[in-house]
Structure 1
Amino acid sequence: MLRLIDRSEDLVIAALPQDVDFCTGPDVRAAGERLLADGCRYLVLDSSPVAYLDSSGITVLVGFWQHLRNAGGALVLAVSDEHLRWRLGVLGLDSAMTITTTLDEAVTRARRLRDAAHRPTQRIPSAADTGRA
């Protein structure tokens, strides 16, 4: 049910189907779970094909977001439809998930999140390290 657009290591870009609802939700969930099981930690979902998204579809997206967050990754949604972005905002999902208006922006955000997670953290030298102990 998800259409794979691109995959680069642990970053996957996929498009949602036209309808994400009670009938299609289980197939979308299963397709996403296969990606997650195969090592996807950063998932970009293009919502431009979506014509209908009900509460079952929202539940699928929240499930992906929770799984990825718990794995130290991220879900980034590309939502070009203003009404759908508004609906996600009403539900408060725009404060939890990363939501962009274009697919290019979503991919850029996901890459930045991945790069930041893979970047070694800088340790602040202690007094013992500088010989001032």
Structure 2
Amino acid sequence: MQIVDHGRVSVGCHVANGWTVVEATGEMDIFTSPMIRAAIIKLLQDGHRHFVLDLCPTAFLDSMGLGMIVAITKRIQAHQGSLRIACADQRLLHIFSLGGLRKSYAFHDSVDEATREVPRHNGLGRWPRPRD
């Protein structure tokens, strides 16, 4: 299901094994981040709690995009939800490292890997402390 379709970004979502997979295709920047954030907040309001943010098709991520991910993480945590990130692109992963967030999230190389296990209750209970 397509939830945002704009020239610089499109966001779609589907459910897989109890996870709401949000796929961001294009750029995640100062212009597009508010649209992505609003789409995820709407999904939370509709009852979705456990998310995989699929950054595999994301071409660009800047500090505003990273800030938006932190903001939605806080929202998801407030709803006792979970967030995993699917991303194998070393350029994008480096941005998380520069922001000091590489160890704070569960990263997976693909959506299939991220959704292999069903969500556990309150998967963000320890966030933002680094993962072991």
Q: Which residue of 1 aligns with 2:94?
A: 86
Is residue 2:51 matched to residue 1:49? no
Is residue 2:7 matched to residue 1:3? no
Q: Name the structure with the higher strand share.
A: 2
Q: 1:117 aligns with which of 110, 118, 121?
A: 121
Maintained 8 Å contact 1:42/1:73: yes
Maintained 8 Å contact 1:65/1:97: no
Is residue 2:107 matched to residue 1:99? yes
Q: CA deviation at 1:7?
A: 2.1
Maintained 8 Å contact 1:41/1:72: yes
CA distance in 1, matches of 2:48, 2:30: 25
> Which structure has the bigger radius of gyration?
1
CA distance in 2, matches of 1:88, 1:7: 25
Q: Which residue of 1 aligns with 2:37?
A: 29
Change (3 A) 1:55 1:82: same
Is residue 2:10 matched to residue 1:12? no
Q: Which residue of 2 aligns with 1:69?
A: 77
Using structure 1 for the length normalisation, give the TM-score: 0.75
How many pairs are equivalent?
Answer: 113
Percent identical among aligned pairs is: 27
Maintained 8 Å contact 1:10/1:40: no
Question: How much is the aligned-residue C-alpha RMSD, in angstroms?
Answer: 2.0
Q: CA deviation at 1:65?
A: 1.1
Question: Which blocks of at least 5 consecutive residues in structure 2 are unaligned?
Answer: 5-10, 123-132
Q: Which residue of 1 aligns with 2:7?
A: none
Q: CA deviation at 1:8?
A: 5.8
CA distance in 2, matches of 1:28, 1:72: 20
Maintained 8 Å contact 1:100/1:106: yes
1:31-60 C-alpha deviation (Å, 9 max, x unpaired): 111111111111111111111111111111
Give the AA of the match of 1:23.
Answer: F
Q: Name the structure with the higher helix share.
A: 1
Maintained 8 Å contact 1:64/1:75: no
